[in-house]
Structure 1
Amino acid sequence: MTALTHKRKPACRAALIVHIVTAMIGSGPLRAEPIGENLVVRHDFFRGTGEDLTGNGRDARIGLGAVQLPRFVWLGGEYEKDSRVSFASAGRDGRTLERTIAVRGGDATIEIWFEGVELEHGDYLLFDGRGHRPGEPERARGCILRLEVPVGRADVGMALFDRQGREHDIVNGGTPVSTISTFDKEGRLNINRLRQYVYVLDGNQPDGNGKWSMYIDGAPVGIAPAVYRTSVDLNVFTLGPGQAQYTIAGRQSDRYNQASPRGRLYRMLIYDRALGADEVASNRQTGLAAITGADAKPVAHEVASAPPDAEALVLVDEGRPHAVIAIAAHRPRAVEEAAAALHNTIFRMTGVRLPIVEQTQVDLSAPVRPAVLLVGPSPLTDRLGIDVVQNRDHEHDHYVIRTGDRWVALVGNDDLNLRGSAYAVYDLLQRLGCGWFGQDEAWHVIPRVRKLVVPPMNVDERAAFRFRSLSAPIRAQCVRDAWRIGGRAYAIDHALDHLVPRREHLEAHPDWFGPGQPCMTHPDVVDLIASKFCMRIDRTPGNQILSLCLMVNDNANFCRCDRCAKLGNHGELMLHFANEVARRLAATHAGRYQITNLAYWATFDLGPDSTSRAEPGVSVQTLHQGNRAKPIEHESNAAVRAAMYNWSRTGAEMAVYDWWIPGFKHSAHWRKVPWYPGETTLRDYRFWKKHGVRYVFHESNREAGDGLPIRWPLWYVGARGLWNPDVRAETVMSEACNKLFASAAPHMLGFYALLEKAMADTDQTASVWNLPPPHLVYTTPIQARAGALLSAAADASDDPRVLARIEDERKMWKGATEVMAAMRAAEEKKTKDTSEQLEDAAGM
């Protein structure tokens, strides 16, 4: 429980101190939460829950026999054959159980809570990392870590390579850790007790070499040189033998092989950054309270009171907290994560931790109390008149930031998958000078201040589009929340092969299929799909609107039967098909569905003479398959505009599918060359919003690594515009550059503006799948000017953080100019060879 008391300070001091006494977070109704920033995978096995936060996978399923709820996952022993954690995103070969988490710069943290059971002398807990693969051109510049408890035999060699290729054995005396015994003895720990084990890879060292650090129960126990650049491939319980690259807690079955361990796995956390020692210690405290469930000793916080009716709220001053963070007793997980993000970021800004309490313990009428940061909706925020409706399907994304008498309300729509309160928190932090422009912490801006003050605010924000998606590999939740990526999900897939599997039905029902698509007019096909959709709706709790994908297979080989041919073009056929399914659903599930379709390729347009109308619940997503170098109002995009007009006349709910894949297939050279359309993108957003588009999906993949920082201007300006298309690209970039580059901002802003103008001015056509050759967009003079701006930026700053970001961009531009130089040389050689051939032919 939480108690708030206060006492007067000595007369020589003018303020009051409020003593806030809280039980350990997690021991009572307020659940203990680990550090949330850059947490990409979290599995609380003691609660029977797991979540992949990367955006790539799905939540974990805990398999039969694996869990003795609600306490732990049992590993090894008599349950050995049944002990495993499986993931819904498992690969087809059954071995890749979760997708790769790419980590730029070599930073990663893996935290494990494990309790050995009857492990004997000689058994041990080991950390196994691999750094070098034979035949790779660069030694020790890639390390694949696998978190794995092998079912059978597995390689347990343990060596790390530094950048010079030197091997460091991390078991046989290579570090102070070496072996962790099963009994307490001088420097050794008993692993038959519940303990926190943390493994940190940090590749961003000043000398260029990385290091790994190991912590046990919050205390550092080993440090050694490690790899410079790391990717983490999470692979829990790989099914194939010999797969172990990263092993926890086991028994040596013979000289070379590891047997399954016996014990209880309670929690596993993976971050795509290196946690600091204080953060590891914090996770130790909150984890212990959450897992054991025992009441911890009360923790007393001295928080200075806030003066009433102040013009601005002081949160921290000269190392002393003046505020608390308060959340509702019953709140969604998104609110807990938002409160944790606020807590952690303020600590990074000031070195001061603001206590997190429950709002039921806050009395806003008290004459003496600290300021209160109210995160998330609650009865208390309702009484303050902060009305944010909690409804995903009808209210969509909405949040407010409002200040009052010593309080700040950060309240959003957090219904189902929405994260409005998190958006409010990050909006406030951005207004206080913070910024998140990439997954690498080097591209986070967290200013250090001695006094943190919130000015009066009354912010009310609503998203322009219900669904704002960047399918870029942006896994860090802090970036997604700061950019406000998300919204109500919109189903996107080439779905008909899944709904009407050819391999299952072709033999018995050949009339159900055309060459590449099911017959969209066959009543039995419509009935089959409608019945599957009905079952999905029935399995969905409450009255949620379920987005159901009816998008055609990725080919133009439609059925040619008389019924299909009679409908005219393939766009008409697709709409007829969706309408028939919708009519069947409406009979039993009216208002519970959204049927999504994709107008592209063969289904791109209905035609200007169409009189078709969409049934309620039918949505059409059009593809921008025009000239990407120009805004959609440009004459070169007339066909795109016409198609959108024709589809919108049907009354269908409108969406846009937009390709942001500059490095696709034959344009792979763009993976190393920046593409930043800037204001052209925002003009498209304004056009789409004006013409009723409510959902926008950008497919962004096929990048080198996670696509950052090369794509940060493209994605950041796009994300800001998806929330509010009325912003101007220049304004967004100016604000970002001021935070990122400080005194070098004018030069960096000039660099990005130069790239934007070059694409806007080009006479080359930028098609949906193929941008023009980059050396024709960025001509030699433009390349020279861009290089000069980057050099001027480097000369304008002496801040190492700023210089590191500028150096990232200089390396990127150097690689881009090399690509363009090679393309130009190849083109000149081809021209010369052709000329010589013509001369030879003329001489003959």
Structure 2
Amino acid sequence: MKQASMIQWARAALVLLAVAVPCATAAAADLTLVQNGRPNAVIVVPPEPPAPPPPANPKARVPPVAKSKWLRAAEAIQTYVEKMSGARLPIVTEGQPDETGMPVTIAVGHTRLAAAKGVKVPSGFKEVVGDPRVFEEEGFVIKTLGELVVVGGNSDGPYQGTLYAAYEFLERLGCRWYFPGDWGEVVPERQTVVFPETDLLSRPDFPIRQVSIGGWIPSTREERQQYDEWARKIKWTSEAFYPGCGDGFLAYLLPPNEYFESHPEFYALGKDGQPSVGRHRTLKYYENTTMLNLSNPDVFAESVKNLQAAFAGTGTSNVRRIVAPNGFGISPPDGAAFDHRPESRALNQNFDYPAYIHHPQTSEEFFGFAARLAREFPGKWVSTMAYAGREMPPQGVTLPPNVKVNYAPISSCVLHAGDDPSCWRRNETIAILRQWLKLTPHVDMYDYNPGFLLGSFVPERDVANFAINAKIYKQLGMKGLRSEGRKAFMQTWISYYVRGKLMWDVDADVAAIKRDFYTTFFGAEAGPHVQAWWDACEAALGATTMHCHEDWLVNHIYTVPFTTRIRAHVEAARKSAMTPKQRGRFDAFALIADHLEAFAAMEEAEMNLDYAEAARQALRCEADKLKLIQTYSFFMGDVKRPDFTNGRAILYTNLAARTSGSAGTRVAAVPLAAKFRRDRFNEGVIGEWYLPSHDDQAWETKNTFYTWDAQDPPEDDKGHDYDGYGWYRFTVDVPRQQVGKPLKLYLGGVINEGWVWINGQYAGHRGWHLWWAGRGRLEMEVDATGKVKAGPNVVTVRVWNNAEIGGMLRRGFLWAPRAAK
């Protein structure tokens, strides 16, 4: 069964509205838990399980005995009811005398009281390796019976059902946990607390429901603890269920510190012909960046031997790092690991998908290897990752039932949902997922949230997209999601909260959830205006024909006119009535809105080649970000990277120095509009399109700040953009005094590869780079010394784009370096 019906959900919302009512009157079937600030209910729990026997070694460290899941659930109810009313409900253990005299009983967990009333609380955990329905026993009940309410769930094995039931119970009393920690919590204050009549059996639509908070933005131990506690409140899972699997786990089968010196043939070769054994600042070699030679039969045999020893408890190898009691996880290193040994290349089937990774996929080799290992250990799970160079399902490989696949579609579009027929990117993600599920039912998704992986932390569209995608994933039969999250709530906003609702129940009413959040968090008057601002951002992103996962490619969407237009929502909210707490939350939101305005102003200044102003706007973004961090640390971390606005401020300062500062002076600007022609059949070089005399009157016009994908209509109804060669021609005027002096032509970006001619003379080439390789690698600069003349000069740029985003971007300029003193 699904989550509560909409009628029950609406009743819970009405309870929340009772915050403003001094005294609530209970209906006949409702239960009064607190009456006029005094307890009116007792919480009853089963006895705690017996403590484990003391260790045989009296000197051994004895870990503290953890509280049972049902006691933690009972204490959560006790804590939040006291926060609401000031009344502390007593907790009594079944079998002990109840001297409280309370008329209402809250039975938490698997109590005898619930059983005596015929309430069946979900229970049981039976892990059968290979079973398609494994890990699907979770669920909980909340049921009122006279003066009794049963709040219990499956707490066996890894399940947290009773804890989820407790927080669902509290939600129906009006409590909300929109964000981690106190800042994101809303607890209504009232003297009388009434729980409505309820009859609920609820089971999750996905067994696996996780969003991590690691990696890119560091978090403190306290923040991680708050985040973990919050995850339980919104019904995320705390267990991996299947064995863990991450980038580079494969090489732990044969740790290079144990094998490389004696068996270098166990490891893959790089393009340079050298073994690709990863290095580490504290270790000699590092497994997580090492690739094995999967074509070597001894690699398989030695891996089996090490795994057998690890499961038997007799091995000393570092392979133990990837082994769990129920199996092990393996995956090649991050990125597109490829073995260039001749024998390995001979095994490769050369399935090439340039729009995903720019060398042939290795799915057949890796998943063939994983399948063989799975057959050696039929009673264990073998967890794998379908990512980057092995994202595509393998051809000709049968996966045993004990293979689990974690599908990580890093290249997917984050601007459109899976049902958008005009987004080929997202459609292919769904098609690939469907193929994986034909090979094994044990598939979960490792997606990315935020979906803009590198950039300036501008608003995303995950709430709108996931409301659609969750239903598609459920229909396909996916096991769930283990998403890569980040401490970046200024960007993800309520996405994690909404994901929690949808991962439990894909049919949850997202519109109602959003209304509840905005009116509760900001007030009934201000909330709709704040929502209108976020909805406008989502709508603008969804309307584009671009398909990408980086925010610097949506600068044609988040423009100064757009941010100026939606500022009206901010100002309307500012004038609205709010409580002091709501006003503080609004102030944080206003900083997020100002940050987006600064982002747009930064991009506009760069488009105008006003790098000093662009640097100022980048620092404005940083100032807003630091204020947000001071308000609530989960908004962002104070991290410095070249792709963040702090890095862009440095870049703009350097460009300003080249154009009007200590490093040089600008001689001429690359015009914003240039002549442009596609070269579908690679005729341009042979046809000498670079000559000044070439007739370009029939060429179209292109903006040199935006990619051609941002400007052109799609090639077909699926949203494919042009891939191939494209030529730009423009004129720059050079003053006579600059002729014969050292000059350089700087181009803000070329995707993926570029060639330049000046007045018909070849000036240089910049090699191929992936479009999301980073700003620094996309820039291009050539020496123009001796190639210009006084007056107009024809510059021709040939661009090669073999897949995805392409073209010139971010304009550029001709400049004269200042002579060294």
The aligned counterpart of 1:388 is: 122
Deviation by residue 1:7-27 (Cα, 9 ceiling, x = unmatched): xxxxxxxxxxxxxxxxxxxxx
Q: Does 1:422 find its partner at 2:178?
A: no
Change (3 A) 1:822 1:310: same
Superposed displacement of residue 386, structure 1: 2.0
Q: In 1, distance between residues paired with 2:387 and 2:494?
A: 27
Change (3 A) 1:709 1:340: farther
The runs of 4+ residues in structure 1 deviating greater than 6 Å are: none
Q: What amino acid maps onto 2:585 in structure 1? A: R
The aligned counterpart of 2:299 is: 525
Q: What amino acid maps onto 1:581 in structure 2? A: L
Q: What amino acid maps onto 2:499 in structure 1? A: G
The aligned counterpart of 2:541 is: 759
Deviation by residue 1:438-467 (Cα, 9 ceiling, x = unmatched): 234232110001111111111122111121
The aligned counterpart of 1:375 is: 108
Change (3 A) 1:538 1:448: farther
Q: What amino acid maps onto 1:467 in structure 2? A: I
- 2:209 counterpart SS class: strand
The aligned counterpart of 2:372 is: 580
Q: In 1, distance between residues paired with 2:294 and 2:116?
A: 54
Q: What amino acid maps onto 2:125 in structure 1? A: N
Superposed displacement of residue 662, structure 1: 4.7
Check the 8 A contact 1:615/1:652 in 2, yes or no: no
Superposed displacement of residue 534, structure 1: 4.6
Superposed displacement of residue 809, structure 1: 0.4
Superposed displacement of residue 747, structure 1: 1.4
Deviation by residue 1:761-786 (Cα, 9 ceiling, x = unmatched): 1233223xx23444322233431243
Check the 8 A contact 1:677/1:759 in 2, yes or no: no
The aligned counterpart of 1:727 is: 508
The aligned counterpart of 1:479 is: 230
Superposed displacement of residue 400, structure 1: 1.4
Check the 8 A contact 1:310/1:406 in 2, yes or no: no
Change (3 A) 1:730 1:358: same
Greater displacement, 683-692 / 467-476: 467-476
Q: Does 1:716 find its partner at 2:497?
A: yes
The aligned counterpart of 2:792 is: 843
Q: What amino acid maps onto 1:630 in structure 2? A: H
Q: Does 1:571 find its partner at 2:363?
A: yes
Check the 8 A contact 2:29/2:146 in 1, yes or no: no
Deviation by residue 1:195-247 (Cα, 9 ceiling, x = unmatched): xxxxxxxxxxxxxxxxxxxxxxxxxxxxxxxxxxxxxxxxxxxxxxxxxxxxx
Q: In 1, distance between residues paired with 2:509 and 2:541?
A: 17
The aligned counterpart of 2:389 is: 602
- Within a 5 Å distance, the mapping from 1:113-512 to structure 2 comes to 310-330=28-48, 333-361=68-96, 369-384=102-117, 385-391=119-125, 393=127, 394-472=135-213, 475-476=225-226, 477-486=228-237, 488-489=239-240, 490=242, 491-494=244-247, 495-512=249-266
Check the 8 A contact 1:564/1:573 in 2, yes or no: no
Which residue among 687, 690, 698 is the counterpart of 2:472? 687
Q: In 1, distance between residues paired with 2:246 and 2:92?
A: 43
Q: What amino acid maps onto 1:639 in structure 2? A: E
Q: What amino acid maps onto 1:390 in structure 2? A: G
Runs of 5+ consecutive residues of structure 1 not aligned to the other structure:
1-305
Q: Does 1:628 find its partner at 2:628?
A: no
Check the 8 A contact 1:466/1:488 in 2, yes or no: no
Superposed displacement of residue 557, structure 1: 1.9
Instruction: Give the count of matched residue pairs.
Output: 516
TM-score by length of 2: 0.59
Deviation by residue 1:69-105 (Cα, 9 ceiling, x = unmatched): xxxxxxxxxxxxxxxxxxxxxxxxxxxxxxxxxxxxx
Q: Does 1:814 find its partner at 2:594?
A: yes
Check the 8 A contact 1:326/1:375 in 2, yes or no: yes
The aligned counterpart of 1:151 is: none
Q: Does 1:782 find its partner at 2:516?
A: no
The aligned counterpart of 1:513 is: 267
Q: What amino acid maps onto 1:600 in structure 2? A: Y
What is the RMSD computed on CA atoms of the aligned residues?
3.0
Q: In 2, distance between residues paired with 1:374 and 1:559?
A: 63
Q: Which has the higher contact order (CA 8 A, sep 6+)?
A: 1
The aligned counterpart of 1:194 is: none
Superposed displacement of residue 711, structure 1: 2.6
Q: In 2, distance between residues paired with 1:471 and 1:644?
A: 21
Q: In 2, distance between residues paired with 1:528 and 1:751?
A: 58
Check the 8 A contact 1:656/1:695 in 2, yes or no: yes
Q: In 1, distance between residues paired with 2:233 and 2:406?
A: 26
The aligned counterpart of 2:438 is: 649
Deviation by residue 1:457-497 (Cα, 9 ceiling, x = unmatched): 11122111121111126542442122111154041312023
Runs of 5+ consecutive residues of structure 2 not aligned to the other structure:
1-24, 50-66, 128-134, 214-218, 270-275, 277-290, 314-319, 350-360, 612-667, 673-730, 735-787, 794-821
Q: In 1, distance between residues paired with 2:519 and 2:42?
A: 30
Superposed displacement of residue 324, structure 1: 1.0
Superposed displacement of residue 724, structure 1: 1.8
Check the 8 A contact 1:613/1:649 in 2, yes or no: no
Change (3 A) 1:693 1:668: same
Q: What amino acid maps onto 1:606 in structure 2? A: P
Check the 8 A contact 1:443/1:805 in 2, yes or no: no
Paired-residue identity, %: 21
Q: In 2, distance between residues paired with 1:412 and 1:340?
A: 15
Change (3 A) 1:374 1:546: same
- 1:619 counterpart SS class: strand
Check the 8 A contact 2:414/2:452 in 1, yes or no: no
Change (3 A) 1:391 1:505: same
- 1:839 counterpart SS class: strand
Change (3 A) 1:504 1:750: same
Deviation by residue 1:397-421 (Cα, 9 ceiling, x = unmatched): 3111111121111112222333211
Change (3 A) 1:492 1:396: farther
Superposed displacement of residue 648, structure 1: 2.3
Deviation by residue 1:357-388 (Cα, 9 ceiling, x = unmatched): 1022378xx99752111222234333333231
Check the 8 A contact 1:466/1:487 in 2, yes or no: no
Q: In 1, distance between residues paired with 2:382 and 2:588?
A: 44
Which residue among 427, 446, 461 is the counterpart of 1:676? 461
The aligned counterpart of 1:153 is: none
Q: In 1, distance between residues paired with 2:261 and 2:294?
A: 18
Change (3 A) 1:742 1:798: closer
Change (3 A) 1:825 1:689: same
Change (3 A) 1:319 1:646: closer
Change (3 A) 1:790 1:440: farther
Check the 8 A contact 1:396/1:487 in 2, yes or no: no
Q: What amino acid maps onto 2:560 in structure 1? A: T
Check the 8 A contact 1:314/1:453 in 2, yes or no: yes
Deviation by residue 1:106-134 (Cα, 9 ceiling, x = unmatched): xxxxxxxxxxxxxxxxxxxxxxxxxxxxx
Check the 8 A contact 2:326/2:381 in 1, yes or no: yes
Q: In 1, distance between residues paired with 2:534 and 2:259?
A: 54
The aligned counterpart of 1:614 is: 399
Q: In 2, distance between residues paired with 1:402 and 1:696?
A: 30
The aligned counterpart of 1:67 is: none
The aligned counterpart of 2:636 is: none
Q: In 2, distance between residues paired with 1:359 and 1:561?
A: 70
Deviation by residue 1:176-202 (Cα, 9 ceiling, x = unmatched): xxxxxxxxxxxxxxxxxxxxxxxxxxx
Q: In 2, distance between residues paired with 1:549 and 1:746?
A: 46
Change (3 A) 1:684 1:745: same
Check the 8 A contact 2:347/2:365 in 1, yes or no: no
The aligned counterpart of 2:447 is: 658
Q: In 2, distance between residues paired with 1:512 and 1:712?
A: 46
Q: In 1, distance between residues paired with 2:229 and 2:267?
A: 46
